[in-house]
Amino acid sequence: MKVEYTVLKRNFRLYQSEYEEAALRVLRSGWYILGPELEAFESEFAAYMGVRHCIGVNSGTDALILALRALDIGEGDEVIVPASTYIASVMGITENGAMPVFADTDEFLLMDTDKLEGLITEKTKAILPVHLYGQACKMDAVMKLAEKYNLYVIEDCAQSHGAEYNGQKTGAFGTIGCFSFYPTKPLGALGDAGALLTNDDKLAEKLKMLRNYGSREKYHNEMNGVNSRMDEVQAACLRVGIRHLDEGSRERQRIAGRYLSEIRNGAVKLPMIRIGASHVFHLFPVLCEERDRLQRFLADKGVKTQVHYPIPPYAAECYAYLGHEWNEYPAAAKLAMTELSLPIYAGMPEDEIDYVIECMNAFQ
C-alpha cells in the first residue's frame, strides 16, 4: 500500500462544488483585489475568532512582518520567540531589523513559558508564541508576563486555526494574531494568503494602510507601506473553508485519537496535550531516538512522512550571524533530531490510517 503524506486534492474534493462556485463567482465579477469577497472574509473570520478586526494579506510571513512593523518594533528591540518553530516566525522579527531571543522547548513541544521571564531585558518589546503543530501554547502564562513587563504579544497561529486555550481561540489573546492560509494549513487557500487579527481599532487601521502602499485613500500615501493584499479568489475560497474548518479539525482529531490509542511502540513517543489546551493536529509529531531509521522503515513500506523541522531556526544558515550553537537550546535541538510527522489530513482514507498504525507498530 502507498500512503502519501498529504493529498490536497482529496481535501479539495470534499467541498469541490462550493470551491468552484466561489472561484467562478469572482472570475465573473470583474473585481479581483480589495473587493466584497475580502470584506466578507474579514468579517466572517473575525466573528469566528471572536475578535473585532481581521486584515487579509498575502501570506503568513507578511502577516508577521507587518504585525511587528505596525507596532514599531525594529532595530535595537528584542522579541522572544520559540527555539523550535518554522523559520518564518523568526523572519517576521529579523525583517524589521529586530533581534530574536530564543526560548527553549517544553514537553508539549512548544515554547517553554517557565524560561520566558529570564529572557526579558529592557530591550524586550514583545513575546511571539507559536501554536506549533496545532496545539495552543500556555497562554495564561504568556499574558501574565506580558502584562507584568508591559510587552506586546504577537501570536503565530499559522498552524492552529480554531485551536483554543481555556475556551478562547488562539489568535484572540495577543495584541495581534497572525495566520497563514498556505494550502496545507488547517484553513488553506488555493494559493498564498494570510491575515492578522486585532481588537485594537487604531492598529487595524494602520495595518490596512501598511498592506496597501501606506494609503487609506488612493494616491495619498501617509506611511511607507507594501503591497500585500489577499486577492478576491483566495478570499472567496477561504469563506468556503471557514464553513468547514471545525469539521476538518474534528476529522484530524479523530485520526489523532486513533494514532494515540492504537500506536503502541516503546521506541516511539506520542504527542501530549496540555490540560486547558486544544490541539487541531495540523501535524502529528512523534518522537523517536532513531528517527531517520524509522523514516526509512516507513518509506520502504510505502508510507511517506516529513520532519518538522530538521534545522532549528537559531541554527539556520541565514542566522549564522547571530552566533548560536546547535546545542544551546537542548530541547529544541533534540526535537529537531527526533521528530517525525505522520500523515494526517481530512480526506485520508481509513485503510491508510490502519496501515500507518500497522507499520508504526511493526517498527523495531
Ligand X SMILES: *Cc1c(COP(=O)(O)O)cnc(C)c1O
Residues that bind ligand X (CB under 6 A): 59-61, 85-86, 88-89, 130, 156, 158-159, 180, 182, 192, 194
Give phi and psi for 326, each to the nearest 5. Answer: -50, -45
Residue 155 or 352 with smaller CB distance to ligand X: 155
- Considering beta carbons, is residue 162 or 194 the nearer one to ligand X? 194
Q: Which residues partner with 54 through β-bridges?
A: 197
C-beta of 192: minimal distance to ligand X in Å?
6
Residue with the CB atom nearest ligand X in the bound state:
60
- Shortest spacing between CB 67 and ligand X, in angstroms: 11
Of 94 and 180, nearer to ligand X (C-beta) is 180
| Range list of H helices, 116-274 | 139-149, 201-210, 232-262
What is the 3-state secondary structure of 268-284? CECCCCCCCECECCCCE
Alpha-carbon gap, residue 293 to 81, rounded angstroms? 31
**Do residues 284 and 344 lie in contact, with contact meaning Cβ atoms separated by under 8 Å?**
yes
Residue closer to ligand X by CB (options 136, 263) is: 136
Question: Residue 122, Cα to own-chain centre: how many angstroms?
Answer: 28
Find the shortest distance in angstroms from Cβ 86 to ligand X: 4
Nearer Cβ to ligand X, position 59 or 249? Answer: 59
Q: Say how far apart CA 277 and CA 40 lie, in whole Å.
A: 29
Our CB check for ligand X shows the closer of 8 and 267 to be 8
Cα–Cα distance list, 116 to 102, 104, 111, 124 (Å): 9, 9, 9, 11
CA distance 53 to 206: 12
Supply the minimum distance, in Å, between the C-beta of residue 361 and ligand X. 29
The minimum distance between CB 6 and ligand X, in angstroms, equals 14
Report, in Å, the least distance between residue 42 CB and ligand X.
17
**Other Cβ atoms closer than 10 A to 152:** 20
